[in-house]
Amino acid sequence: MTRGNNNPNRAPLALGRDRATALLPVIMAIMSFLAVLAAGGFFAILTMTEGWSSTLTGKATVEIPYQEGMDMDRASAEVLKVLLDTPGIVTALPVGEDEIRTILSPWIGDLAQDELPLPRLIDFTIAEGQVDLAALEARLRESNAAIRITGAQAALQSLEDLARLTRTIAALAALSLIGIAALTALFATRALLAGHRRTIEILHLIGATDRYIAAAFQNVFFTRALAGALPGAALGAIILWLTAYFFERMDAALLPAPWPGFAGWLAVALMPALIALITSLTARFAVLAALRRDEE
């Protein structure tokens, strides 16, 4: 901070033990903890949705329920044409009546099957992520409102939409927390400036530059923010790890464990430095701006 003076409490600007920054490590620990959870959550959800996409097949089925008076063959042919004309759909194949009867036999038995009206089913496969199933279903319903798309891919799309929303919220939460850290630094800087106005004036008169003053603030905010952000992030990382670990042990087959992945752990590891950097830069620019304002 200051040439030839290693003890921060004997530096010309004794900011280290000021009440204005006393709580800064605690606040930054909380911010860092929450930001790590938000960032870790963001990457965990990202990893999970990637897992769904890779583990679930790209198959879905169009179901045309039986309707009195409807030409089911014609309806089936129309749906088949729409499917085959849709970019991203690789194959589309009507399910045969015998196969449908086999599918239904556990529920209705063999006896009355000939008399029962059967729905028509058309299986289709899609290239991953290339077909908007909701839009496709809406298009099919233009000719028959009863038509619906079922299957893992359709369910996956809903989950992916939900996951995307959750990711957005997690990212916004992480950014908001970093923003709050910056605002906290701004208010603490102003309080610190007010408390050290006389010292700053003396230093200026002796020949200190604004950058010298700002650097003293920047260093104090960096070290104090880092002192809080490191344990906060460590605690957040432990919580993330435990969550994924116990989730995995629950053997929940439907969803993969929420491990943040390499990018997630990297974000967690960098979070304290990021918070300390943003906090210290906020302090620096707040000091420079305040000193310029004072001059005017």
Partner 1 sequence: MENTATPLVRFERVGMRYGIGPEVLRDISFALPEGSFHFLTGSSGAGKSSLLRLLYLSARPSRGLITLFGRDLATARRQDLPMLRRRIGVVFQDYRLLDHLSARENVALPLRLTGGVEEEEIRRNVAELLDWVGLGDRKDARPPTLSGGEKQRVAIARAVIAGPRLLLADEPTGNLDEDMALKLMRLFAELNRHGTTVLVATHDRALIRRFDYPVLRLHDGALDGPFSAAEYGRAPSP
| Per-residue tokens: 222 | 């960096």
Beta carbon nearer to partner 1, 111 or 206: 206
Q: Residue 219, Cβ neighbours under 10 Å: how many?
A: 20
Q: Are 192 and 17 in contact (CB under 8 A)?
A: no
Residue 61 binds partner 1 (CB under 8 A): no
Residue 20 binds partner 1 (CB under 8 A): no
Binder to partner 1 among 144, 159, 210, 235 (CB under 8 A)? 210
| Per-residue tokens: 274 | 């990021």
Binder to partner 1 among 111, 112, 145, 206 (CB under 8 A)? 206
Residue 197 binds partner 1 (CB under 8 A): no
Residue 293 binds partner 1 (CB under 8 A): no
Q: How far is the CB of 3 from partner 1 (least distance, A)?
A: 5
Round to whole Å and give the CA distance between 76 and 123. Answer: 11
| Per-residue tokens: 281 | 């830069």
Alpha-carbon distance values, 265 to 43, 94, 100, 125, 274 (Å): 9, 46, 48, 35, 14
Residue 12 binds partner 1 (CB under 8 A): yes
Round to whole Å and give the CA distance between 292 and 171. Answer: 35
Binder to partner 1 among 111, 112, 205, 254 (CB under 8 A)? 205
Q: Please name the residue that has the structure tokens 């890779």.
A: 54
Residue 18 binds partner 1 (CB under 8 A): no
| Per-residue tokens: 295 | 């001059």
Give the x-and-dash track for 143-182 against partner 1 (CB under 8 A).
----------------------------------------
Residue 8 binds partner 1 (CB under 8 A): no
Beta carbon nearer to partner 1, 14 or 34: 14
Round to whole Å and give the CA distance between 224 and 232. Answer: 13
Residue 5 binds partner 1 (CB under 8 A): yes
Residue 3 binds partner 1 (CB under 8 A): yes
Q: Are 185 and 283 in contact (CB under 8 A)?
A: yes
By CB under 8 A, name the binding residues for partner 1.
Answer: 2-5, 9-10, 12, 14, 199, 201-210, 212, 292, 295
